[in-house]
A and B are shown apart, each in its own frame.
Chain A
Amino acid sequence: MRSLTEEETKTLFTKIANYTGSSLSQLVAPTTGDGPNGEGERMVFRIQKDRVFYMPLKLANLAVSIPRASLLSVGTMIGKFTKTGKFRLALTSLDVIAPHARYRLWIKPNGEMPFLYGSNVVRAHIARWSEDAPEHSGCIVYSMDDTPLGFGVTARSTAEIRKLDPTAIALFRQADVGGYPFHHLKEHHLNGKLEFMESLDVNTKVILHFGVGFLCIK
């Protein structure tokens, strides 16, 4: 596990900035709180193999004592770098980026299930959306009770969406919380090392991911 290089940091922030506004700086700023001098804990990004994790500095320092080969996960997984150097945001980053979202979209209850099963959002399923969103910009999808369900990229600008017919695609899905069961299965299948995960049901893992961070070793 190591901290990110300049280039990696830039790539990561550029990707996150697709979805968030200028309040993104809150991510790296120290939280106000319960430090010894009244200062909060600093949140940092760390890279382990090709995955980027977001965690408090304290946890990062603790994780140093675990050998690289043995460390599977620490903190919240934000996404991973591809072999070509691009960055892919993972679903687990949703709770990190959702509070700082630049554009939001609320979908009707009848559109939730299609979205969670992996389809794009159609015009008919949109209840509300942020004004002035240009096309191809990152957008966080919420249910009507303000629960973030996933994120995607707008297919049209908001002005154009208004004129669309009900079956036209308004937002291309990138990730949604419906992926958690699949993600769980995939991760388990790939690693074959998360034995203790077996004892947890799907919901428990979701809660663990949503927490500030947890340490996972083999």
Chain B
Amino acid sequence: MAPTKGSSKGASSGGAKGSKPSSLSSASRVSKSSKKNVKRPPPKEMKTKARTEKENLAKKKKRVYTEAELNLPKLNTITPVGVVKPKGKKKGKTFVDDEEGMMTILAMVNAEKDGQIESKMIKARKLEEIRDARHKEMEARQAVKSKKLEAVKDSIRNAKKGKGSDEKSSEASTSAKGAKSSKPKRKSVSFA
């Protein structure tokens, strides 16, 4: 079987050479011949790497953990006041519909109000006292002032009186002396 195959191959190739001189390009011919003649290295055995090997493991996508999963202590993180809600607290409004609850709130409010009013009253009373004291002081001061003024007035009046009487008496005495001692001749002018 083998020799026949080889002979037929050789015959066909020789015929082609002889019959077709230059219809095919030289390059193709060359390439054909070169392809045949190329020396290839012996095929190597492809080795598949085990999954457990380093390279394979490295390529795999790593799992990303969230911060909550890691349970890390929260350091240097700022949480706004309104955002954090106390745990275990009931969500929503707490209604007061029972009488006792209302009464306790009422009592609290009443006590607060009474305290406020009391303090207001005390304050008002204190202010009133201060005002009264000031008023009294003012009156006393006014009285002292008026007394002083009166005293001064009296002294002036007395002084005036005293002075007037002295002057009068002195004048009277001098006039009396003058009249007695010398009656000066009156200068007279006569017209001829």
Interface residues of A (CB under 8 A from B): 2-6, 9-10, 13-14, 17-18, 22, 24-25, 28-30, 42, 44, 132, 134-137, 157, 159
Contact = CB atoms under 8 A, between A and B. Distances in A.
A135 B95 CA distance: 35
A134 B103 contact: no
Given A6-B105, A25-B103, A159-B124, 5 more contacts: A5-B95, A22-B114, A28-B102, A29-B99, A30-B99
A3 B95 contact: yes
A134 B117 contact: yes
B96 A135 contact: no
B110 A17 contact: yes
B106 A42 contact: no
B94 interface: yes
Interface of B: 93-97, 99, 101-103, 105-110, 112-114, 117, 120-121, 124, 128
Contacts of B110: 17, 22, 24-25
A13 B103 CA distance: 10
Contacts of A14: 109, 112-113
Nearest to A158: B124
- Mostly helix, strand, loop or mixed at chain B's interface? helix
A80 B117 CA distance: 25
Contacts of B106: 13, 24-25, 28
Contact of A10 (B94, B97, B105, B121): B105
Contact of B121 (A5, A30, A44, A134): A134
Given A14-B109, A14-B113, A134-B117, A157 B124 contact: yes
Contacts of A4: 95-96
A159 B127 CA distance: 11
Given A13-B109, A17-B113, A6 B103 contact: no
A27 B93 CA distance: 24
Given A28-B103, A137-B120, A159 B128 contact: yes
Closest 6 CB pairs of A and B: A134-B120, A3-B97, A13-B109, A17-B113, A5-B93, A3-B95
A6 B97 contact: no
Residue in B93, B96, B113, B114 with the greatest tally of chain A CB atoms within 10 Å: B113
Contacts of A159: 124, 128
A26 B109 CA distance: 14
Contacts of A28: 99, 102-103, 106
B96 A132 contact: no
Nearest to A22: B110
9 contacts: A9-B96, A9-B101, A9-B102, A9-B105, A13-B109, A17-B110, A25-B103, A25-B106, A137-B117
B107 to A, nearest CB: 8
A17 B109 contact: yes
Contacts of A30: 99
A44 B124 CA distance: 37
A209 B16 CA distance: 123
A42 B99 contact: yes
Contacts of A132: 121
A17 B110 CA distance: 7
Contacts of B107: 25
A44 B97 CA distance: 8
Contacts of B114: 22
Contacts of A24: 106, 110
B12 to A, nearest CB: 100
Contacts of B95: 2-6
A198 to B, nearest CB: 36
B114 to A, nearest CB: 7
B117 A6 contact: no
Contacts of B93: 5
